[in-house]
Amino acid sequence: MRMNDEPVAAMPAATTPATPQAAAAAAVPFVPSKVSIDRTVRLPSMTFCLARHVPSGRVFCGGADFGLHSFDPAAEKPETRPLSEVRHSSYVTGVVNAAGTLISGGYDRSLIWWNAETGEQLRKVEGAHDRWIRSLAVSPDGLRLATVADDMRTKIWDTQSGACLLTLDGYDLQTPHGFPSMLYAVCFSADGRRLATGNKTGKVLIRDVATGEIQQTIETPVMYTWDPKARRHSIGGIRSLAFSGDGSLLAVGGMGQVGNIDHLEGKSRIEVFRLPTGERVHEIEDSKYKGLVEKLQFSGDQKWLLAAGGDNGGFLSAWSLETGKLLAQEKLGNHLHAFEMLSDRTLVTVGHDQASHVTLSAG
């Protein structure tokens, strides 16, 4: 479970240097070599998604208590508070900030628009999908919302009116082996013109946002962890997607083949494709920190890629896009479901039951 929040495609550009020394340092491309946890905050429940709300400086997150909560990630001792007494009726799996308005979605198949300041429920769309809503993404201009669900449909919504503009098929309801399939991941390109979605069997569709037309199909079959002999069951699938800032690369995250399906024992896996050729330029598997890659984001200069996820424990890893090698990595509490960049070097992560303020630094 994950979310893609604004800005979708790339981390923010570096802030303006305050001193000549800082300016000199800023001229050198930032390549992280260390991940540091600055502080953590206990969350009210298992948490699957978050959205940064710039006007208030707060981060809003949703999870297993069916509600949204917020905290100030810059505070020394962050305190969480509920957004509203009103809640979804099942797990909240996605929340985005659409030009100042929060929109959440969840396993109750509904979408809710919220006033982030007051907690007022502005709009609710019941039955937005026929089955579990897995993920939400908002276009960089905040005008379009994309949702994916286990009805295997992608929907594009007008964030201002709440109207559903497009309902897009393209995935089978069942896996090739006759089991329910799942549509986990969605993200917009930085220019807001393209949308990528990924399902349980490792199929990526890239579409034109305006028309819904499929522009490209990419297959990542290793992400589908079915094995007819050893494991008639699969819990992998594509769990995260990200376009690079210029739209020339697409990163796909999930898990590699697993020996023991009872746990998330597969190597965490990332595949990076060049667009529009579809050439796979990187195939990254990490055996040190295993499990699902739940969130991906390219650096602003497209030199490296940040990935979060985990099995029982969480990880945050930075991978070089030039070499495919690991740049920095840290075990980070429990399984991470999402993160949001606060600056080019700081971020907030949410996991099983805690959030962390994290700093990336060069060695």
Residues lying near another protein in the complex (CB under 8 A): 45-46, 64-66, 89-91, 107, 132, 150, 177-180, 182, 229-235, 261-265, 291, 310-314, 334-335, 351-353
In the complex, minimum distance from the CB of residue 334 to another protein, in angstroms, rounded to a whole number: 4
CB 70, CB 79: distance < 8 Å = no
In the complex, minimum distance from the CB of residue 255 to another protein, in angstroms, rounded to a whole number: 10
Residue nearer to another protein on the CB measure, 140 or 313: 313
Cβ within 8 Å of residue 225, ≥6 positions away: 231, 234, 235, 236, 237, 255, 256, 257, 258, 261, 266
Please give the C-alpha separations between residue 305 and each of 125, 219, 267, in angstroms, as whole numbers: 35, 20, 17
Lay out the sheet containing 313-320: strands in order across.
Answer: 292-298, 304-310, 313-320, 326-334
In the complex, minimum distance from the CB of residue 350 to another protein, in angstroms, rounded to a whole number: 12
Residue nearer to another protein on the CB measure, 311 or 340: 311
Residue nearer to another protein on the CB measure, 278 or 313: 313
10: closest CA among 280, 281, 306, 310? 306
Residue nearer to another protein on the CB measure, 64 or 347: 64
Instruction: Say whether 21 sits in a helix, a strand or coil.
Output: helix
In the complex, minimum distance from the CB of residue 171 to another protein, in angstroms, rounded to a whole number: 16
Residue nearer to another protein on the CB measure, 83 or 255: 255
CA–CA separation, 22 and 19 (whole Å): 5
In the complex, minimum distance from the CB of residue 179 to another protein, in angstroms, rounded to a whole number: 5
DSSP-assigned states of every residue in 176-233: TTSSB--EEEEEE-TTSSEEEEEETTSEEEEEETTT--EEEEEE-GGG---BTTTBS-
CB 216, CB 253: distance < 8 Å = no
Residue nearer to another protein on the CB measure, 53 or 352: 352
In the complex, minimum distance from the CB of residue 141 to another protein, in angstroms, rounded to a whole number: 32
